[in-house]
Amino acid sequence: MENIALIDSFSEFKDNKSIDRVTLMSILEEVFRAALKRKFGSDDNFDIIINPDKGDLEIWRNRIVVADGFSEDDNEEIELAEARLIEPDFEIGEDVSEEVKLIDLGRRAILALRQNLISKIFEHDSTNIFKQFKDLEGDLYSAEVHHIRHNAIILLDDEGNEIVLPKSEQIRSDFFRKGDSVRGVIKSVELRGNKPAIILSRTSPDFLNKLFEQEIPEVFDGLITVERVARIPGEKAKVAVDSYDDRIDPVGACVGVKGSRIHGIVRELGNENIDVINYTKNEQLFISRALSPAKVTSMEIEMYEEERNGKKGRVSVLLKPEEVSKAIGRGGVNIRLASELTGYEIDVQREGLEEEDVELTEFTDEIEDWIIVEFKKIGLDTARGVLDASVAELVKRTDLEEETIVDVQRILKEEFEE
């Protein structure tokens, strides 16, 4: 039977794809009906009988017998003389069922039919993969390095699904070879055409959160909760944890004796320095903890009526001179993470600062906004703060050119000389 070759080609995909029998038969019928519609103009009067397990396929066309010369639709009507060639005792008005062979559709139609069948099965498989991974967004996932490109690493999981780890989602110190196992979180899943694009991330704060769940039993069991995470991937992170059981020290449980528990997480993240602090709803106390290892002398909080750039307020923190560099951190990393963790813009001021000082925002007529923002990133938001720092220090801690810094300090000096 010439239908068997087509069914055999279908079986190749059936064996390799997770597709149930009912869905399979539905796809087959859809494909064949589309072919019949192209050939005969309509598929309403066709019966398709499929048994994919045995490779059987039958197509029957049903037509009504009409008098010779009175057929208005060759697809739905058959003249008496033609009908009696099939069965000599047919009469006008009776129904005639005639089997249609695939060969009757033509070679080109059969090739198109097979291609359509392949496309439908792959489309179904892609949709299932999309749904499967969409439910896994934000979850920890492992896959093996299959191919390394300049802008991404292509991974394959145990089922052969392709997962992409873009360069932008890799930690700077990441280095993988073909065959290495890679962990990350499923960041996003999108359908591009008929193919699901699965993006893995190792830089997302969710990755650190999920590692805590996996590596620390109390977090996994819900005895300790990870309330907030802020990180600069591969460099430093701050994690705020809490426990509803007063008998449990959440920070101690997460860090472990001599850092034994958190060591595995640090190693996974390329030796990313992780500060674990106790979460509290007391805003002042939480900000103080977020600025550790610096010790805060006092602070003033100004709440915004509406959020500005994701921040709910501004806090002015007063520190002893020797604590300022600790609060800011190398390259402004510590204060940046503290700001991200708490949701506040943080301004650092030294104790004993001369009363005569001016905020940098007062110089917007002479200094461009983006330059002021660069200084604020490292906790310098007043003229005295910028003038007290050396040019070499500011070049190292900001993304500003030496010429720009010298020019800014000249403008600020002129203010105080006046």
Which of 108-112, 148-152, 371-375 has the highest mean predicted lDDT (pLDDT)?
148-152
Q: In this predicted model, which residue has the larger pLDDT, 44 or 200?
A: 200
Bigger pLDDT: 222 vs 3: 222
User: Is a pLDDT exceeding 50 seen at residue 246?
Assistant: yes
Q: How confident is the model at residue 359 (pLDDT cuts 50, 70, 90)?
A: confident
Provide the pLDDT for residue 10: 52
Q: Which segment of 50-59, 157-166, 380-389 scores lowest on mean pLDDT? A: 50-59
Q: What percent of the chain has pLDDT over 90?
A: 39
Least confident of 33-47, 155-169, 334-348: 33-47
pLDDT at 203 (0 to 100): 95
- Report pLDDT for 207: 96
Task: List, for residues 87-146, the tens digit of each pLDDT value.
Answer: 888 888 888 888 888 777 777 777 777 777 777 777 667 777 888 889 999 999 999 999
- pLDDT tens digit sequence for 182-217: 999 999 998 887 788 999 999 999 999 999 999 999
Tell me the pLDDT of the chain averaged across its residues: 85
pLDDT at 21: 66
Residue 351 has pLDDT above 80, yes or no: no
pLDDT number for residue 1: 38
pLDDT on residue 417 = 65
- Confidence band for 4, pLDDT divided at 50, 70 and 90: very low
* pLDDT given for residue 53 in this prediction: 61
| Structural domains in the chain, sorted by start | 3-132 (3.30.1480.10), 140-202 (2.40.50.140), 204-279 (3.30.300.20)
> For 319-336, what is each residue's pLDDT tens digit?
887 888 889 888 889 999
- What is the model's pTM? 0.62
pLDDT at 386: 86
Backbone angles phi, psi at 317, to 5 degrees: -110, 130
Q: Give residue 344's pLDDT band: very low, low, confident or very high (50, 70, 90).
A: very high
In this prediction, residue 2 has a pLDDT band, given cuts at 50, 70 and 90, of very low
Between CA 47 and CA 413 the distance in angstroms is 91
Does 9 have pLDDT greater than 60?
no
Query: Per-residue pLDDT averaged across 158-183, rounded?
Result: 92
57-91 pLDDT tens trace? 788 889 988 888 888 888 888 888 888 888 888 88
Which residues have CB under 8 Å from 82's CB, separation 6+? none
Contacts of 337 (CB under 8 A, 6+ apart): 230, 231, 232, 236, 237, 238, 275, 290, 329
pLDDT of residue 146: 94
Tens-digit pLDDT profile for residues 275-313: 999 999 999 999 999 999 999 989 999 998 888 888 899
